[in-house]
Amino acid sequence: MPQLSRREFASLAATTAAPFVFGQRAAAAIAAQDVIDRIKKNLGSEWKPDTVDGVKAGDPSIVLKGIVTTSMATLDVLQRAVKADANMVITAQPTFYSRTDAQAPPPPRGGGPADAVAEPDRVFAAKAEFIKKNNLLVFRFSEHWRLRQPDPLARGIAESLGWTRYQSSNDPLRFDLPALTLEALAASVKKNLESRGGIRVIGDPRTNVRRVGLLPGTTPIQASLKMLPNVDAIVAGEVREWETAEYARDKVFAGVGKGLILVGRVVSEEPGMKVCADWLKTFVTEAPVRHIPAGDPYWRPAS
């Protein structure tokens, strides 16, 4: 992933019509908390208390320098954000490797003595330290973001794939493409979503597909049961293999379904976070906003 130089970032910032020269202290400085407040105000739905969303690390009162959105706030993304002089990171996935975002690993299964002091974990500690040292604010924005209509995650994928004009008028998650083989579809998805080794497919590579449905993120069997009768193939983030993967395998064997393409959850939610950056720009003009992709976590040995 090419790193954006400071100059490139400044020129990008200039295009956002920020009322100050990037790098200088803005006259109308706002805090990260102000961004959070504006997100809640512009969301279009009530902010709910019991979700994974919210501040995960840092002090929301910091003076905002710049915002980075990403599918996953990996340490690499945080480092690139700091290099780009941003201090607020908005992530779709957890920061500390679990749904709870606790800044320590879970206790070992089976447990040890109740008073045993766990060794501090080097990876958790280094990430927390990096956030603290650079005075970053990390905000998770996932459940609320995907509640917006039309689905910004699907919109992001469609834009990345150049499919916007093929969107079905009946179903915003369905795209009626010029016919292509499942293999060609998979190759196009791999290239345009910048997938490396994370993409996996079920179905005959030579079969023709036309109607494609999108299921970003992690979805249960019910989502595919609902969608598959109306499409030839689904492009999804992740599914449980004992559910939807086996269902797709049987569907293909029965000759009534054509394909399932899995790109992984992180990759599937990345274009939606690019859309999120564009959305933030509509009500945050005091500081630059940009998207930094986390990239596909996976690779595969050359065979």
Partner 1 sequence: MTAGEVVDRIKKNLGVPWRDTTYRDTFKSGGPDTLVRGIATTVFVSLEVIERAGAAGLNMIIPHEDTFWNDRDDTTIVSADPLYKTKVDLLKKYDIVIFRMHDHMHAQRPDFTYVGSARAIGLESRYETAPGSHRFVIPETTLGQLAADVQKRSGARALRVVGNPNARVSRIQLGVGYATPPVHSAEIDVVISGEQQETDGTLDSPAYVLDAMTLGITKGWIMLGHAVSEEAGMLEMADWIKGFVPEVPVQLVKAGEPLWAPR
Site string for partner 1, 52-91 (x = CB under 8 A): x-------------------x-xxx--x------------
Write the DSSP assignment of 139-180 as a string of letters: EE--TTGGGSSS-HHHHHHHHHHT-GGGB-SS-TTEEEEEEE
198 touches partner 1 (CB under 8 A): yes
What's the residue count for the chain?
303
Residue 29: Cβ within 10 Å count: 13
Q: Look at residues 296, 161, 164, 184 and name the one whose alpha carbon lies nearest to residue 232.
A: 184
Contact with partner 1 (CB under 8 A): which of 18, 245, 273, 284?
245
93 touches partner 1 (CB under 8 A): yes
Cα distances (angstroms) measured from residue 265 to each of 74, 124, 180, 184, 185: 14, 22, 25, 21, 19
Q: Which residues ranging from 128 to 187 are in contact with partner 1 (CB under 8 A)?
A: 183, 186-187
216 touches partner 1 (CB under 8 A): no
The two structure tokens encoding residue 245 = 């993967």
Closest distance of CB 273 from partner 1, Å: 13
Closest distance of CB 301 from partner 1, Å: 4
Q: How far apart are CA 173 and CA 158, in angstroms?
A: 9
Contact with partner 1 (CB under 8 A): which of 3, 61, 230, 241?
241
Residues that bind partner 1 (CB under 8 A): 52, 72, 74-76, 79, 93-94, 97-99, 105-106, 108-109, 119, 121-123, 126-127, 183, 186-187, 190, 197-202, 205, 218, 221-222, 225, 229, 237-238, 240-251, 253-254, 256, 262, 264-266, 297-303
